[in-house]
């Protein structure tokens, strides 16, 4: 890092709120234990994203709802990093309520997979609706990523 580059800090709920606040087109909710709580609301009817994180036993379940595109990538990346940092053995990323995903979303999911693998944690992806699941099929990620149900 050069002296002119800003220092990057680890993600916190304040960072999640700041990044979502800069993206006024996103409504983000991260809920779970107090360290993972952040709520940011923004007005834009055409694009809404909801992120919910819940702890269940030895798993953290991150439910995503709405459009998972470039505008949503950073808040989702930060929420997943917080979830991976939790003392749980398994991360479940639930895409069942995602209405759209692009290459930015695929990249975030792949990064989360690598982070989980490096941390010795299991990752499971709950498939999205057919249009979202098809993007994973077209990119050959169905064979590379751990989808629930073995698809």
Closest CA to 19 of 78, 104, 84, 87: 78
Token digits of residue 110: 């792949």
Lowest-confidence pick of 5-9, 60-64, 101-105: 5-9
**Per the structure block, which two tokens stand in for 36?**
């993972």
Q: Which domains does the chain have, with CATH numbers?
A: 13-142 (3.30.750.24)
Spacing of C-alpha 76 from chain mean position:
3
Q: Residue 144 CB: number of other CB atoms within 10 A?
A: 11
Q: What is the pLDDT of residue 36?
A: 47
Question: CB of 17 within 8 A of CB of 40?
Answer: yes
* Whole-Å CA distances, 42 to 12, 16, 28: 20, 14, 8
The pLDDT tens digits for 102-144 are: 999 999 999 999 999 999 999 999 999 999 999 999 999 999 9
Stronger pLDDT, 82 or 43, i.e. the higher one: 82
Residues 14-25 pLDDT 10s:
333 333 333 333
Q: How far apart are CA 86 and CA 84, in angstroms?
A: 5
126, 142, 124, 125: which is closest to 134 by C-alpha?
Answer: 142
> What percent of the chain lies above the pLDDT cut of 70?
68
Report d(CA 43, CA 41) in Å as an integer: 7
pTM above threshold 0.75: no
């Amino acid at each position: 890092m050069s002296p002119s580059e800003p220092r990057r800090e680890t993600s916190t709920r304040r960072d999640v709120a700041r990044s979502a606040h800069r993206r006024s087109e996103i409504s983000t909710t991260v809920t779970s234990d107090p360290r993972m709580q952040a709520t940011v609301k923004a007005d834009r009817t055409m694009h809404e994203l909801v992120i919910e994180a819940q702890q269940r036993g030895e798993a953290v379940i991150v439910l995503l709802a709405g459009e998972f595109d470039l505008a949503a990538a950073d808040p989702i990346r930060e929420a997943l990093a917080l979830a991976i940092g939790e003392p749980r053995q398994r991360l479940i990323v639930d895409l069942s309520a995602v209405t759209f995903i692009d290459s930015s979303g695929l990249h975030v999911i792949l990064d989360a997979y690598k982070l989980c693998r490096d941390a010795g944690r299991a990752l499971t992806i709950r498939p999205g609706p057919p249009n979202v699941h098809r993007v994973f099929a077209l990119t050959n990620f169905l064979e590379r990523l751990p989808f629930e149900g073995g698809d």
